[in-house]
Amino acid sequence: MIFGIHSLLFRETFVEKDLPLLEHVKRMGFDAVEIIPFDPDHFPAAKVKSVATDLGLVVNTGYGMPEQYNIISPDPAVRSAGVAFSKRLIDLSQEAGARVFGGMIYCGWGYLTGRMRSEDEWKWGVENYREIACYAQRNSGLILGIEPVNRFESHFINTAADAVRFVQEIGLPNVKVHLDTFHMIREEDDFTAAVLATEGYLGYVHACENQRGIPGTGLVPWPEFFKALRQVGYDDCITIESFDPDIESVAKLCCIWRKLADSPEQLATEGLKFLKGVYAQAGLGGMPEGIQL
């Protein structure tokens, strides 16, 4: 298992001036970093790959698709624009040397129709994402992670079972499920059952406390979650995803209205220590000194 941290905990952007963040997260003990190329025109993909390679740091990328690139829109022009934009993000992810490109990458983030998803939306989503995945498959081993999110952010894919069905219908090996405990605690009936449902399809994991605070300070059943991950054989990257309320644009997007830690560094380092301890207890023996569940 390797452990990562999300760049949006520390930076609003990721352009060339943000490259020193890679060394910063490596010094804190992380094996990986997830980066959101919010400004594709100025994302230094080749330099990210070079710096990360020198540091021995794994790179993952993510995105929340804007509504104008929504591949389940009733407007065929919007769907077509979404496919094209997705291919551009895949090119950038590959250039940056990313292992996984995940998140709300399969429909518009925040797009809600006020109704349950329709058969047409499902058909458009599967057809368009199959085209996107075929494009990604041509050039690299990049994994595309389909992240179920809570009902307040999307009506389309809310549970692990939804994501597994979507991945199965796309039918390509580079499309996997991306689980996130922040969303799971709102939508799943049972943490263990949800993880077990992804067996053979799980490609990426976000470790987030229910309130986006330091892992271990909230309601997520971490021992149960890690034991289930081991049951399905997942032993890849787990990324802490949280956000700093002092970054106003990010806080607004993610509804972070209070301090979750004294500093981003505290959230990152204490969260990492806790998660490594739970991981050790779940499969490798006792807890390291100082960790309590």
State the Rg of the chain over Cα: 18
Residue 271: alpha-carbon gap to chain centroid: 17
Q: How many CB atoms lie within 10 A of CB 114?
A: 5
The dihedral built from the CA positions of residue 252, 254, 260 and 264, taken in this order, carries a sign that is negative
Q: Catalytic: which of 121, 153, 209, 241? A: 241
The dihedral built from the CA positions of residue 235, 196, 36 and 45, taken in this order, carries a sign that is positive
Q: Catalytic: which of 34, 147, 153, 188? A: 147
Q: Is 241 a catalytic residue?
A: yes
Token representation of residue 275: 């998660």
Q: Is 270 a catalytic residue?
A: no
β partners of residue 104: 64
Look at residues 270, 195, 196, 284 and name the one whose alpha carbon lies nearest to residue 240.
270
* CB contact at 8 A, 47 and 58: no
User: How far apart, in Å, do the first and last CA atoms of the chain sit?
Assistant: 20
CA-CA distance, 171 to 202, in Å (whole number)?
Answer: 14
Q: Which amino acids are annotated catalytic? A: 147, 241
